[in-house]
Structure 1
């Protein structure tokens, strides 16, 4: 066990001795580092620690610092080795901007505020836009929209959402081998045919396995003008043109987490995999959002950090088989390859959003999640 002395400043310099068995210093750590705009706590910790997700274990051990997010651009971190490694924080005389976040929240607000993963039945049964003012094909701000199945009072405000992905498996084998996918839903066909519904599960295009939920994105807000079936709503704001088939949901005004504390999970479910990308086609990289096949019902919470592994291929062993003919003779499975780390920043019942924190190679669909070691 290495005795580490961490110095943090909150108005004055405080020194406290703490013990962190897992938080070893990197062999190539700098002696000092000046915090810059755009840094995150993970980035800074990765310069000093071989396991950057363990920074809360060190900083939270200091009872004088109630909030570990107290580092600002311009502050200087100094490392010395008097009676063991000593990390000191020297504040800038003129601190610039806001405190350094654990992760780049400004880049994730869309996923924190405007995205949800819901039960497929809840999406199917939600009120929906049936028509628009003057029989328009698309609705714009300031126009009326007509909604069926809506219960509420005049003046009540709603979120207008559009399903974007359905999370489902392609087989019903054991959880560890199930091929889970985040299937992209496309335009009007998704609105009319509702491929997330129970009666669509026999369609091999969308899978036949476990139903994890439907992702919806908030694309507008509206206010009830008149009740009835259909009800009349006034379109208050929109990021996309509203069309028939868009769903109506209550506005989610719950604040999202302002602070994240990376930590290892107690265990990793057998079906823990990467099942989709938010803004990538074939692969994702550092600081991109990925969808994970586990959620709150699996014990996942914000800040949980995992190592991603790319499953090794199964190849033909020409030598052992004494044959060059493919498919004949002995096969061997290659070892899984390390990809990088992903940290959960938003959880739903059976799906989570994660941010790729670092990596050596691209993240692909099917990458396995294991303990962050």
Structure 2
């Protein structure tokens, strides 16, 4: 490769990569959120003009050079009083929101405050020349998306992109199950070999094209809406990863009477990584393919009224703290998408009015308790990261649109 790679963003929102004499284009794939034509037109108009200067953070810098370790949420908070209005400041339309204009370390951001509105771009105000970004040399090729600025600190959510699984109860019950291990151990850990039996209709095979990497789960727990008691789904407990070594088969075994009997032989797996000890009865589901996911912090276009359903991985803990993950009672069927920001309201609380000696029970107003961002959705349940909270978060706390 040459000593540096330069990148320019063209007017169509695609990124052109110049590497020596090779020219290629990485396009930003758009997704269409479920909004009306009126909503789309309004959002486009706001996007074109930016946001009122009153929405800027008091010390919003006129220029800022992106550094390694920065996050989109951190830069949003640097520029905005309400970071979820980032798409409007950055000038994104609704089609571009799920896949934001990529921001890279080394780029300079310019804040334009003209006309009473603020806009942010990588082009200096008054200039039409796209910025050239110099990227450190690499001895191997890699995806440009891998160097883009993440929305959040990756270590906070990466484990949860594969760990929580919300399924129908029947899905887990019909998944292949561990039946035994070598040396008749009761509990299994990383490095152990185990044997698996599948549902008769879908035997485990190790043929070309069949899944070889699996996740191990334990019986699913019902996720109930705290307000109605309705079951929204079943959360399976993630235990670890396994690799299929040999598929299920049948073998002819001498029966001692001069003939043979056909006997079933279970599949063989090796446990590659375990979060908790694994035992007979735990279930296997194929490992999903790795996907590069980007999130743009933004307010939902529709009204949201939700509740905290559970604190992930902490069934014995009453309060969740900052940077913990919670399950909430809305999902993809409600229009919720990764990147949506919601405001937490403390659960209804009451106090006794002792001022007049009657000790009447008085309901206190709901208090704004912080901000969450959705990063993974299922049909009726989503997982969200607690970004900024003032007090501990409990099951039953409300979530609404940010103001």
The reply to whether TM is greater than 0.5 is yes
Instruction: Identify if the C-alpha distance between structure 1 residues 60 and 257 changes in structure 2 by more than 3 Å, giving closer, same or farther.
Output: farther
Instruction: Identify if the C-alpha distance between structure 1 residues 210 and 99 changes in structure 2 by more than 3 Å, giving closer, same or farther.
Output: closer
- Determine if the alignment matches structure 1 residue 71 to structure 2 residue 103: yes
Further displaced range: 70-79 or 294-303: 70-79
Residue equivalent to 1:238: 273
Cα offset, 1:154, TM superposition? 3.2
User: Superposed, which structure 2 residues align to 1:22-171 within 5 Å?
Assistant: 24-61=55-92, 68-79=100-111, 81-84=113-116, 85=118, 87-89=120-122, 94-95=134-135, 98-139=147-188, 141=191, 143-149=193-199, 151-155=202-206, 156=210, 157=212, 159-163=214-218, 166-169=221-224
Q: C-alpha distance in 2, partners of 1:46/1:103? A: 12
Cα offset, 1:350, TM superposition? 2.0
Residue equivalent to 1:210: 231
Instruction: Identify if the C-alpha distance between structure 1 residues 81 and 10 changes in structure 2 by more than 3 Å, giving closer, same or farther.
Output: farther
Alignment deviations for residues 104-127 of structure 1 (CA, whole Å, 9 cap, x no partner): 334322211333111123223333
Q: C-alpha distance in 2, partners of 1:40/1:285? A: 20
> Which of 323, 327, 333 is the aligned partner of 1:287?
323
Mark the runs of 5 or more structure 1 residues left unpaired by the alignment: 1-8, 170-174, 180-208
Instruction: Identify if the C-alpha distance between structure 1 residues 218 and 78 changes in structure 2 by more than 3 Å, giving closer, same or farther.
Output: same
Contact 1:159 1:218 (8 Å CA) reproduced:
no
What is the aligned-residue RMSD (CA, Å)? 3.5
Residue equivalent to 1:192: none
Contact 1:307 1:372 (8 Å CA) reproduced:
yes
Instruction: Identify if the C-alpha distance between structure 1 residues 164 and 72 changes in structure 2 by more than 3 Å, giving closer, same or farther.
Output: farther
User: Superposed, which structure 2 residues align to 1:249-288 within 5 Å?
Assistant: 249-253=285-289, 255-268=290-303, 270=305, 272-278=306-312, 281-288=317-324
Contact 1:163 1:217 (8 Å CA) reproduced:
yes
Cα offset, 1:12, TM superposition? 7.0
- After the TM superposition, list the runs of 4 or more consecutive aligned residues in structure 1 that deviate by more than 4 angstroms: 90-97
> Which of 298, 304, 315 is the aligned partner of 2:340?
304
Q: C-alpha distance in 2, partners of 1:18/1:244? A: 59
Contact 2:180 2:194 (8 Å CA) reproduced:
no
Instruction: Identify if the C-alpha distance between structure 1 residues 37 and 288 changes in structure 2 by more than 3 Å, giving closer, same or farther.
Output: farther
Q: C-alpha distance in 1, partners of 2:351/2:243? A: 56
Q: C-alpha distance in 2, partners of 1:312/1:131? A: 49
Q: C-alpha distance in 2, partners of 1:92/1:287? A: 35
Give the length in aligned residue pairs: 321
> Which of 302, 316, 321 is the aligned partner of 2:352?
316
Residue equivalent to 1:202: none
Cα offset, 1:144, TM superposition? 3.9
SS of equivalent to 2:147: coil
Residue equivalent to 2:248: 226
Q: C-alpha distance in 2, partners of 1:62/1:348? A: 25
- Determine if the alignment matches structure 1 residue 339 to structure 2 residue 369: yes
Q: C-alpha distance in 1, partners of 2:65/2:157? A: 25
Contact 1:112 1:256 (8 Å CA) reproduced:
no
The alignment's TM-score, normalised by the length of structure 2, stands at: 0.68
Contact 1:25 1:48 (8 Å CA) reproduced:
yes
Alignment deviations for residues 7-48 of structure 1 (CA, whole Å, 9 cap, x no partner): xx963798xx92235782223423443433222112101111
Contact 1:274 1:367 (8 Å CA) reproduced:
yes
Further displaced range: 103-112 or 242-251: 103-112
Alignment deviations for residues 55-76 of structure 1 (CA, whole Å, 9 cap, x no partner): 223435489x996443233433
Instruction: Identify if the C-alpha distance between structure 1 residues 126 and 26 changes in structure 2 by more than 3 Å, giving closer, same or farther.
Output: same
